[in-house]
A and B are shown apart, each in its own frame.
Chain A
Amino acid sequence: MAEVVATNETIVVVGGGISGMTAALEAAECGKDVVLIEKNPSLGGRVAQLYKYFPKLCRPTCGQEINQRRLKVNPRIKVLTMAEVEAVSGQAGDYSITVNQSPRFVNEKCTACGACSSAVTSEIANPFDYNLSKTKAAYLPFDMAYPQQYVIDPSIVGTEEGEKAKAACSVGAIDLEMEAETINLKAGAIIWATGWKPYDAGNIQPYGYDRFLNVVTSVEFERMMDPKGPTAGKLVRPSDGAEAKSIAFIQCAGSRDRNHLTHCSRICCMATLKQTTYLTEQFGEQSEAEATIYYIDIRAIDRFEEFYNRVQEDEKVSFVKSKVAYIAEDKASGNPILHGVDTEGYNRYAAEHDLVVLAIGMEPSVDINALTSEISTDASGFIQLDEENGAFFGAGCSTNPLDVNRAVQSATAAALRAIQVVNQISRAEAA
């Protein structure tokens, strides 16, 4: 592991999703030294796992490519992957951070040729596909991974498989002796860009995510559309592989609910509206494929209203104003049957669909208060902007459920705040 030099004029960014990358780049491009810490083997965060993103419906790869190019040419950013913050102490302008880095067993010499992967047969659950698929135990996290460096899963280290992988590597990049490391860093300011995670759908008992195969979450649905995803880009049912032509979307799955997350996750309405366009993309304009959105109210924030209007005009999409009460399963067909009463007329329905997509809520990915007690959060655990926070600044979805556009704005704001702190320190030291 290369030495990481960090002083109290360094800005540490925790989390390498779109927000963390943005904050790190903005600060570094202003001439500050930055250490970017990411717990996964690659940067990219959850945006990399989306098939397309609204409002323009482009693939996430293009934004990622620009950021990666900016990263590569900037010597001021040191990126640590497979690294997690263990503890933080100190105060604004003088923080000490303990970071644990897990071994990758592959060093910088890796050319991403993939020979190690071809050499092994063992497989592991693939977290990039929310464990819906398997990947080789010697793997590149995803095509656009950064760094472009393979990973050897610890399960094959010390086995014959591990040795096979090592032998296959012609540039000597595999080092099975690598060990976990503890890295101590100094920092003047810390940007928390730790993002969000999907709410545990199994907790929503009446929807049977843990019992019915044809009930999936919105994040899984994104992966299904990806040609490199678990279903090779096909919208098929997990139970029998049949095409899912009648898809129900259930809004506020786990959000706005005192039994689950009390906040509105804000993005899931737009995510569903976007996902209805996948049906036409997959089955064509002329198909009988249809989407039904069950909702309390649609929250397409500000300029997304236009997107909403467009989806409303789509004849394949219908809207039912009702929070589904519960789902049952038709045993013979595996079809989920949605039960409820609609608010416009109080009609009782028992609606059968091929597949149900839960527009799952977003919650903070880490319990930030467990890492450091100094940070003020709202009732849902999102980091707030607060004088009391010293030089801790939240960026992106660690502060709120945000779309990419707003996450990036929030990250730039956080970078500016952190820059102000380290500028004060360098001025004080110069005086």
Chain B
Amino acid sequence: MGSTNTAKVDRYKNNFLKEVEENVEEGDWVRMCMQCGVCAGSCPLGPHWDHPPQEIFMMIRAGKRDEVLASDSMWMCTSCYNCIVRCPRELPITHIMHGLANYAHRLGVAHQENPTRRFAQMFWNNVTKTGRANELKISLGLYFMDGFMNGIKKSLAMKKIGIGMFMTGRLDPFGLVQGRGCKGSGDIDKMLKKAFEIEDHRKGYNS
């Protein structure tokens, strides 16, 4: 992946805006931003992340490539759509944020510690393994993400919900050892491989 990142840097030199326009989903909207600040002020997560969308868009234009791609902002987006609804220029802000997250991730330069990103990766690994989400592994993985003691605490706190899920058949108690897969999980593997191939080819990753 590192090689892809270097290739992109070489290709776009200092024109990060162009790189975003050509590689990031809905990235060609970025130049439409008039820096009014409505999105930044509308985001419920706004106070808790590095850069509000308004700032991210200005940083893209200013060529702050490393700071943008490593920002935790796009991982904090909860898709509430408040910004899209209010943006006077109708920028698809939520989609751009997810596009940036995806791009940074594929280049291997995304924010390392951000819990949302780590959870997303965990979920992906879990669900693509057998083609079916293994709730027990996901939950435990999430609870123990920040260390053993924390994990125990969280598991106890969530006990009631866990039992409820078990009673309604949503949680397989043997998930840790065996776990139910879906039929033909091998075909899912093939599908995903093909999808990656197409995306890599289109977006020039891994090359």
Contacts and interface: CB of A to CB of B under 8 A. Distances in A.
B89 A325 contact: no
A254 to B, nearest CB: 10
Contact of B86 (A259, A321, A342): A259
A343 B40 CA distance: 10
A348 B86 contact: no
Given A323-B88, A348-B46, A341 B41 contact: yes
Given A346-B51, A348-B46, A340 B88 contact: no
A257 B85 CA distance: 11
A121 to B, nearest CB: 47
Nearest to A206: B86
A258 B51 contact: no
A256 interface: yes
Contacts of B86: 206, 259, 325-326
Interface string B22-47: 00000000000011111111100011
Contacts of A252: 36, 88
B90 A296 contact: no
A341 B37 contact: yes
Given A343-B54, A348-B47, A325 B88 contact: no
Given A256-B88, A259-B88, A341-B41, A322 B36 contact: yes
Contacts of A340: 37-38, 40-41
State the main secondary structure of chain B at its contact with A.
helix
Contact of A325 (B35, B41, B47, B55): B41
A342 B41 CA distance: 9
A259 B36 CA distance: 14
A272 to B, nearest CB: 16
B55 A346 contact: yes
Contacts of B90: 258-259
Interface in A320-360: 321-326, 339-343, 346, 348
A339 B41 contact: yes
Interface in A71-110: none
A296 B54 contact: no
Contacts of B40: 325, 340-341, 346, 348
Contact of A322 (B41, B51, B55, B85): B41
A27 B86 CA distance: 46
Among B36, B47, B54: residue with most chain A CB under 10 A: B36
B42 A296 contact: no
Nearest to A325: B41
B126 to A, nearest CB: 36
B43 to A, nearest CB: 9
B11 to A, nearest CB: 30
Contacts of A258: 88-90
Given A259-B90, A325-B40, 19 more contacts: A252-B36, A256-B34, A257-B88, A258-B88, A258-B90, A259-B85, A259-B86, A259-B88, A296-B36, A322-B41, A325-B41, A340-B37, A340-B38, A341-B37, A341-B40, A341-B52, A343-B35, A343-B36, A348-B41
Interface of B: 34-42, 46-47, 51-52, 54-55, 85-86, 88-90
Interface of A: 206, 252, 256-259, 296, 321-326, 339-343, 346, 348
Q: 9 closest Cβ contacts across the A-B interface?
A: A325-B41, A340-B41, A341-B40, A323-B36, A257-B88, A322-B37, A325-B42, A258-B90, A341-B41
26 contacts: A206-B42, A259-B90, A296-B36, A322-B37, A322-B41, A323-B37, A323-B38, A323-B88, A324-B41, A325-B38, A325-B40, A325-B41, A325-B42, A326-B41, A326-B86, A340-B38, A340-B40, A340-B41, A341-B37, A341-B40, A341-B41, A341-B52, A343-B36, A343-B37, A346-B54, A348-B41
